Amino acid sequence: MPLYKIRFTIAHFFATYRAVLIATLGAAASAFLALWLQQGSSWRWLFVFVLTETGLVLVGVTPGQYEKTTLFESILPSVHKVLELKAQDRVTIHYLASKRRQQYEQLTDYYPVASGKGRLFGFAHGIVGQCFSNRHSHSFSIPEGADFAETMKENWSFSADELVRLTKDRRSFFAFPIGRDRVFARAVLYIDSPDSDTFADGRRQQIAQKIQDLFVPIFEQIVAR
């Protein structure tokens, strides 16, 4: 399993079960501290106490957006259906990970293929980063006959390492901002397709209007939680 998947799985578990974990680890830490005080010569209990306290801190500081993954993922099938996307078109939610480092994270798996969540990207690359930066919807299509990797490097500044993480059969892309965190979008609804015409002018406007009218109110309630 990739490292980003492991990190995401742990963060999601910590955020989802935060209350239970804090109560359990807090009680365990108190018990271990009492055992160390009773057996002052045994450093084993002090080590276990410190380890438990470290776990308590990690659970406490886990960002809250990981609790929202399941909620977002439950809505994506409806998004896919209402927007009349094709079977090979994918939708996902990206979430603002760091304003200081200007990074975003894929918060949900792609629907319907169930892969991708946990990957980190910078704002400098792709229409999603642009959408986070200026809070406007964006779309882009790779011109007929153009090479995927060359287009992504020339138009969106993806490095060779970042290109490895991208799906090479995608030909058109759409990003729509959700919520606001100071000057940035809080999240972005992202759609991609192997068809260059999926987000042609008229179609793009229809998709954006449906997202704005039907899904933005729901998504903004989730990001505001």
Q: Identify the domain boundary among 41, 62, 83.
A: 62
Residues 217 and 167 in one domain: yes
Task: Give the pLDDT of residue 124.
Answer: 85
Which residue segment(s) compose the domain that 33 sits in?
3-62
Structural domains of the chain, count:
2
Distance separating alpha carbons of residues 185 and 182, to the nearest angstrom: 8
| pLDDT tens sequence across 68-100 | 999 999 999 999 999 999 999 999 999 999 999
Residues 205 and 124 in one domain: yes
Tell me which residues of the chain have a pLDDT lower than 50.
none
Residues 102 and 168 in one domain: yes
What CATH number should be reported for the domain holding residue 192?
Answer: 3.30.450.40
Residues 151 and 47 in one domain: no
Residues 151 and 51 in one domain: no
Residues 6+ apart with CB under 8 A from 121: 94, 103, 104, 105, 106, 128, 129, 162
Q: Identify the domain boundary among 62, 90, 113.
A: 62
- Alpha-carbon distances of 41 from 34, 44, 50, rounded to whole Å: 13, 9, 16
Phi, psi of 99 (to 5 degrees): -70, -40
Task: Give the pLDDT of residue 40.
Answer: 67
| pLDDT tens sequence across 41-66 | 678 888 888 999 999 899 888 888 99
Residues 73 and 52 in one domain: no
Q: pTM for the complete prediction?
A: 0.87
Residues 53 and 83 in one domain: no
